Amino acid sequence: MENYQREIEIFDLFQKVFKRFWIIALTSIAVGASFFVVNNFYIPDTYSAETTIFIGKESGALAEFNFLDLEIGAQLIDDYKELIKTKAVRNEVISRLNLNIHPDSLLGRVNVHTVDDSRFMKIVVLDASPHAATRIANAISDVLIDKAEVVIGAKNIQVVDAAEVNERPISPNVLNATIIGVILGFLVGLIISIILVLMDNKVNIDTNLEDLLGVPFLGSLLPVKSSDHLDALVMHHNNNTYDAELYKLIRTNLDFMSVDNKCKVMMFTSAQMSEGKSTTVSNIALAFSQVGKKVLLIDADLRKPNLHNLFSIRNYSGLSNLIVNNVAYKKIINQKYHTSIITSGPKPPNPNELLMSKKVDDIVMELRNMYDIILIDSPPILSVADSLSLARCVDGIVMIAACKQTKKENVVASIKKIRQINGKILGVVMTKAKVKKKEYYSYK
């Protein structure tokens, strides 16, 4: 089971990384293009010239040793390699060719290597000019022959292949460099995508909220187009749109939980502010009203109420008056779009104490007998304690989480707080989610 879960997590990670494939593609293209431009326009061409020489057997005193020819050649080749590196050889080459370079610079352009198990030695010269590389390679072989006779007393070096001009540069290899750049860019983009996935601590359309929170997922909602109430209350102004269908789906899910009046009073809350809580509860209230339910919508956010703005009604009196002054229900209940609404009323100095009073329990109990469904808009869980105080009066709580806004740890902490007071969590709704219509419909 653990192995299966691990495979699921790896597959989920792969899916999330794949959805960021545009990052990998752009990085690959950018790095590959950079390598192409740099190698094609900024790195000068380098040409190579190669001289092959053969080191034969010594004819003098060294010939008296009974070594094999290859052993003798190997011993002498090391001497010749070091001879080429000497300043005497370098200075002589510079002098013969009348070069305007430092001897150390010449040393950096020359590579000497041997063919395995042979007495052949190759002198390779690199230069920005193919003709200069050829001249230097041939000059080095000539000077080496002269110096070997003077220094070592050897006349056993022969030029087998003199250097010839090769006008095809050996570097930069633009094609190889571009391929390497693309591969490097791919790896960098992949690493960036994985880091972004691992560091993404906000809920999104790919987040499995049921696994994260251990509560049912009720549905996703699209972002509200503007702050205008015409766009916010889609269940009244745009009832036949796809946005409205998403609210109807959530209504259906909640309706199953309200069978036999087990879940008649529901509270909607969120972890933090501005997650779409008021808009969600308002549209769901309208959705219930449209199927013949007698619905009451209560704004219990006594600190920053918003329902009166959404429904364009006055907030002179409301829940706070009902709790404090025992006002008659008919004086504070508003009727709008076939839905009963109790606004928050005047802001009290002690909202939490007010909501904790026994009067609230009595009010909710009375209203239960008057309506089929009661939906309560409450303050965010992590901001104030008001929602936790109200939880005792409701049958179930719906958590709102905004896509790419709500942090996972915040919604988890909110669920934990509700469970600590033994509150019943009905499920979670994701708001502001850019759901593809075709995918959402086929899934449901």
Neighbours of 430 (CB within 10 A): 26
Domains of the chain: 13-43+172-199 (no CATH), 47-161 (3.30.70.1130), 209-443 (3.40.50.300)
Indicate the pTM of the whole model.
0.67
Tell me, what's the pLDDT at 330? 86
What's the average model confidence in pLDDT over 159-184? 91
Sheet holding 217-220, edge to edge: 217-220, 425-431, 396-402, 265-270, 373-377, 295-299, 339-342, 333-336
pLDDT of residue 63: 44
- Model confidence at 196, pLDDT cuts 50, 70, 90, reads confident
Q: Is 426 exposed, middle or buried (0-12, 13-18, 19+ CB in 10 A)?
A: buried
CA distances to 141, 143, 164, 290, 295 from 90, in Å: 11, 9, 20, 97, 99
Whether 227 shows a pLDDT value over 80: the answer reads: no
Is pLDDT at 195 greater than 90 in this prediction? no
pLDDT over threshold 60, residue 297: yes
pLDDT digits (tens, 9 = 90+) for 29-81: 999 999 999 998 998 999 999 999 887 755 544 444 444 454 555 566 777 78
The residue ranking higher by pLDDT, 382 or 240, is: 382
Helices (H), 20-173: 21-37, 69-85, 87-97, 103-109, 130-147
Please, which pLDDT band fits residue 262 given cuts at 50, 70 and 90? confident
Of 114-118, 189-193, 199-203, 281-285, the range with the lowest mean pLDDT is 114-118
The pLDDT, as a whole number, for residue 210 is 85
pLDDT of residue 283: 95
Closest CA to 346 of 327, 359, 364, 365: 327
Mean pLDDT of 335-360: 92
Average pLDDT of the chain, as a whole number: 85
At residue 71, the pLDDT reads 55
